[in-house]
Amino acid sequence: MRHVIFFGNALHGDDGFGPVVYHRLGRLDLPADVRLFEAGTCGLNALALFEGCDEAIVVDALAPGNHPGRVIQPAARTLALDAALAGHDAGVGHLLAALAALGVPPPHIIAAEAERVQPFSHVLSAAMTRAVDAAVALLCRRLGIDHA
């Protein structure tokens, strides 16, 4: 079983990256062994979503920086404990540290650098909208999904 776990707040601008990717991927014909989970901002409460899977993939927005919309695939061990956007409870960095402490194999990560986080906005920036397309393409290749 492969679990793809999407983090983010759809009502905070570019922090909605994960939920938007979740909805786009959810419209595709997924292999039988793929399960999608929209985790919102639940941080450590998402630990249960990593149970019972052979592979986990985490999708999330990174804090704004110098390259808005840049999609990266960092190793789980390289993300700082505070790498997630504010409001993600303990944050995805803490979640990854907890998984490592529990001996759970590290998930594959697909992340995009936010341009702006704007409370009470469900609109992604143009850079993050392009990042959604790139992330969906990466996930489709990794999961063996035809998304033409």
pLDDT (mean) for 103-131: 94
**Does residue 65 register a pLDDT over 70?**
yes
Exposed, middle or buried: residue 24 (CB in 10 Å: 0-12, 13-18, 19+)? Answer: middle
Higher pLDDT, 139 or 77: 139
Based on the structure, what is the number of domains in the chain? 1
In a domain? residue 132:
yes
Q: Whole-angstrom Cα distance, residue 143 to residue 51?
A: 19
**Does residue 92 register a pLDDT over 90?**
no
In a domain? residue 75:
yes
Cα-to-chain-centroid distance, residue 50: 13
For residue 132, what are the domain limits? 2-143
Please tell me the least confidently modeled range out of 29-33, 35-39, 77-81, 127-131.
77-81
In a domain? residue 85:
yes
In a domain? residue 36:
yes
**Does residue 82 register a pLDDT over 80?**
no
Token pair 């776990």: residue:
5
In a domain? residue 119:
yes
Distances (CA, A) of 64 to 41, 70, 103: 17, 10, 31
**Does residue 53 register a pLDDT over 50?**
yes
pLDDT for the residue 81: 53
Please tell me the least confidently modeled range out of 27-31, 61-65, 89-93.
89-93
In a domain? residue 58:
yes
pLDDT for the residue 107: 95
Global pTM value: 0.92
In a domain? residue 6:
yes
CATH number of the domain bearing residue 27: 3.40.50.1450
pLDDT for the residue 89: 44
In a domain? residue 148:
no
Question: Of 63, 68, 66, 105, whose CA–CA distance to 80 is shortest?
Answer: 63
